[in-house]
Each structure stands twice: as structure tokens, then as C-alpha cells.
Amino acid sequence: MHVILVATQKGGAGKSTIAAHFAALAAQDGKTLLIDADPQASLTDWYTSREAETPLLAQADANSIAQVLDAAADEDVRWVIIDSAPHNAPLMASLMSRASITVIPVRPGPFDLKAAAKTLDMARALKAPMACIINAAPPPTRESEPTVVAEARVVLSSMGAPVLPGQVSQRAAFSHALITGQSVTEYDPEGRAAGEILAMWSAVAKLAESFPRKS
């Protein structure tokens, strides 16, 4: 079982958007549990309007997370994707120490980069494997990635943070898909948003598989 935590102490960076999409894509590969560990319950709302029966969904907090993960392992779940809350550092630390890898979505802007540093520090202190994902970036041109994205990579690298190649661009398809309980790969499979999130999920899955399984 691979446990992927999507976390950052910055609100609105795209944790729930990315967690929903990773879970929908992971479910094509094997039994997948999406854990909503945010009391805002954004993903539970998404799930309620979802027609597809996969992934599975559970809610968890600091008291129940161990039990939820143990039950998932007993039920031969292959992928666990956890969405977390921005303002609960103790819960985030506890989730990080249980995750195979923590994925940190970062918008390519100065305040967002600064805010990511706190989460990177937490991961480092816990010796938790992590990688940043550039989210909600201006779409790339045919020739190159946007300057703000290149700059964000430089800043994150200077903070010692691995940054996954590629980006998830700011695209309306994400809102359209999520509001109808879908992922962009279901809503518009041939679209650019689908291509980008699929490439990002493939990179994350490969990385997770290179770390020891959690059970």
C-alpha cells in the first residue's frame, strides 16, 4: 500500500483539487482509498456528487487516522491519497510521518513560495520524503515553460526541495469537472488539463513506488 499525502500549510494551493484527481487516476490502477482529513470536507462534497463508485472515500482526523490506514491495509488497498487541512500542523505532521511521500502543491507566486517553506521544514524535520508540484500556473507555450514557473523552480530548488517536472496549469476544466463530481480526465479526456494531471500523477506514482510500502 502506497500512502500519498497532499499537504501544504498554504490555504488554497490546490490540495483538494490534486488529491481528488490523483485518487481518480490511482483507482484505474488498483483499489484506492481517498481520505478526507480536512474538516472543510471539500472532497466529501465532491464525492457526494460523483457517479463513479471509485475511489473509496473515508474521513479521518488525528484520532482515527491510524485505524483508517490499518483497515485499508487489511482490505488490500493499493493506493491511499490523503487530502489535508492547511491550519492543523500537528495533524499534518502525524500524516506526514505515515505517508510514503508528501506532495506539496505550490502556486508559482512569491507569497506561495514563502508559505511552502514552512511545510518543507516540517517534512525535513520528520525526514519525510516529499516533492513539490507547481499548480495553477499560467499555461506553458509550445517552446517553453512560463517565466514564473521557471523562477518558482529556482526558488524551491534553492530551498532544497525536489520539484517534479511539468506543471498543472490554471484551467477552467478543473472547476467544471470537480463541480460535477468528476476528474478532468473524465470530464474532458482529450483536454490539456487531463494531459497535465495524468503526467503529474504518473510521476508521483513512480516516485511513491520507489519508496518502501507502508504495509
The C-alpha cell of 94 is what? Answer: 502525524
Query: How far is residue 121 CA from its own chain's centroid?
Result: 18
| Choice from 38, 122, 128, 207 touching ligand ATP (CB under 6 A) | 38
Q: Which is nearer to ligand ATP, 94 or 119 (CB)?
A: 119
Residue among 55, 86, 166, 181 that touches ligand ATP (CB under 6 A): 86
Backbone phi, psi, residue 62, to 5°: -60, -35
In angstroms, how far is the first alpha carbon of the chain from the final one?
6
Indicate which single residue of 32, 94, 100, 135 sits in contact with ligand ATP (rule: CB under 6 A).
Answer: 135
84 binds, among Mg ion, ligand ATP, none (CB under 5 to 8 A by kind): none
Between 15 and 153, whose beta carbon lies closer to Mg ion?
15
Q: Which of residues 155-194 bind ligand ATP (CB under 6 A)?
A: 168, 170-171, 174-175, 178
Q: How many CB atoms are located within 10 Å of the residue 159 CB?
A: 16
Binding window for ligand ATP (CB under 6 A); candidates: 9-17, 62-70, 108-116, 118-126:
9-17
How far apart CA 11 and CA 210 sit, in angstroms, is: 29
Q: Is 50 in the site for ligand ATP (CB under 6 A)?
A: no
- Edge-to-edge order in the sheet of strand 79-84: 56-59, 32-37, 79-84, 2-6, 101-106, 130-137, 168-169
Classify 62 as helix, strand or coil.
Answer: coil
Q: State the residues that interact with ligand ATP by CB under 6 A.
A: 11-17, 38, 40, 42, 86, 135-136, 168, 170-171, 174-175, 178
Binding site for Mg ion (CB under 5 A): 15-16, 42
